[in-house]
Amino acid sequence: MVRRSCIVGCGSYLPSQVMTNDDLAKRVDTSDEWITQRTGIKSRHIAAPGELTSDLALAAAREALAAAGMPGEALDLIVLATATPDNTFPATATKVQAALGMRGGAAFDVQAVCSGFVYALAIADNFIRLGQARNALVIGAETFSRLLDWNDRTTCVLFGDGAGAVVLQATEGTGGNADRGILSTHLHSEGQHYGLLWVDGGPSSTQTTGHLRMSGQEVFRHAVTRLAEVVEEALHANGLRPADIDWLVPHQANRRIIDSTARKLALPVDKIVLTVDHHGNTSAASIPLALAEAVNDGRIRPGQLVLMEAMGGGLTWGASLVRM
């Protein structure tokens, strides 16, 4: 019997403050036209002062648990993907664990920047497949607004804050349910590109938090190539063809990167869940935010095949195929 991780609930949270491209044009030398053309972003949400990554994560987690009809005490694993933890340590996941009333099991953070959710999903899936967890909460939560250099127009226009979460449950599927759940996960990194997308601070190097720095064009180039490769790898591993995909739920960094992946798969635009226009790049939160939006509005339905993919600092990248 195949033991798989099924997604049984999705949740999301966005801070109430919305920052438009026009708002940004009042702070730096940019325009709605430039940002829209180069990235597809129109607006993003920004956390309120004092609103922390754990607050965003907790709100998304509560919604995902409610959708799953599962109390927090039933969880035995929390994996939280973030590059913007509340504190250097302990893991933000442990704060969420306490707030959810989860007493046993394990809670920890994963750091793979914008690939964080795909990494966290793979880790939780492996725990479940090995029988080390039954009910896992996987969260992507970020307050990237706190890492931005608000005088640098090449980066500050790209990112936003938010959180998304999914509840995974172990299923020993038989019959009609046998093919449901996470089919496979595929992770990669290439550390020689550390300096292409990084934060110029940290406890060991500068004892400051630092600011996000990026070689945008090079990241773009790697993203287009690596995402096409990993998508192909995921399909091949499952003996599937691009036409079998019902939904592409990509990391939402840039509309042009998403379009490039979709073109390589020959996927029509109405099979892509797009949130980049109203969320911007929320790093590890972007895939679970998009997934929650499309599950909760009824676009993604049980039994459909969903492909997720992401690329982030490290460089890291990965993909996952899920039968909902």
SS3 content of the chain, % helix, strand, coil (to 5): 40, 30, 30
Instruction: Using CB under 6 A, count the residues that bind ligand COA.
Output: 20
Q: Does residue 251 have an active-site annotation?
A: yes
66: CB partners within 8 A, 6+ apart? 9, 11
d(CA 83, CA 24): 23
Contacts (CB under 6 A) with ligand COA, residues 154-173: 154, 157
Q: For residues 141 and 80, give the distance between their C-alpha atoms in angstroms, rounded to a whole number.
A: 7
Stretch that binds ligand COA, among 34-42, 59-67, 184-192, 287-295 (CB under 6 A): 34-42
Binding mask 263-302 for ligand COA (x = CB under 6 A): ------------------x---------------------
Report the nearest approach of ligand COA to the CB of residue 70 (Å): 31
Question: 6, 114, 156, 254: which one is catalytic?
Answer: 114
Instruction: Indicate the residue whose CB is closest to ligand COA.
Output: 216
CB of 21 to ligand COA, least distance (A): 9
- Binding flags for ligand COA, 228-257, as an x/- string (CB under 6 A): -------------------------xx--x
Q: Is 114 a catalytic residue?
A: yes
Residue among 133, 225, 123 nearest 182 (CA): 123
Q: How far apart are CA 189 and CA 211, in angstroms?
A: 22
* φ and ψ of 287, to 5 deg: -70, -50
Binding part of the chain for ligand COA, among 27-35, 52-60, 62-70, 98-106 by CB under 6 A, reads 27-35
Instruction: Answer yes or no: 281 catalytic.
Output: yes
The 185-224 contact track toward ligand COA, x by CB under 6 A, reads -----------------------------x-xx-xx----
106/212 with CB nearer ligand COA: 212
114 binds ligand COA (CB under 6 A): yes
**CB-wise, 114 or 324, nearer to ligand COA?**
114
Q: Are strands 316-323 and 181-189 parallel, antiparallel or unpaired?
A: antiparallel
Using CA atoms, how far apart are residues 141 and 86, in angstroms rounded to an integer? 11
What stretches of the chain show up as alpha helix (H) in DSSP?
21-25, 32-39, 53-68, 92-99, 116-129, 153-156, 216-237, 255-265, 276-279, 286-296
Backbone angles phi, psi at 107, to 5 degrees: -135, 130
* Contact positions with ligand COA (CB under 6 A) in 45-104: none
- If binding is defined by CB under 6 A, does position 225 make contact with ligand COA? no
Q: Site for ligand COA (CB under 6 A): which residue of 39, 53, 185, 316?
A: 39
- Which residue type does 66 have? A
How far, in Å, CA of 1 to CA of 81, rounded?
A: 30
Bond before 315 cis per omega within 30 degrees:
yes
Residue carrying structure tokens 């708002």: 23
Q: Which positions lie near ligand COA, rule CB under 6 A?
A: 30, 34-35, 38-39, 114, 153-154, 157, 214, 216-217, 219-220, 253-254, 257, 281, 311-312
Q: What amino acid positions are annotated as catalytic residues? A: 114, 251, 281
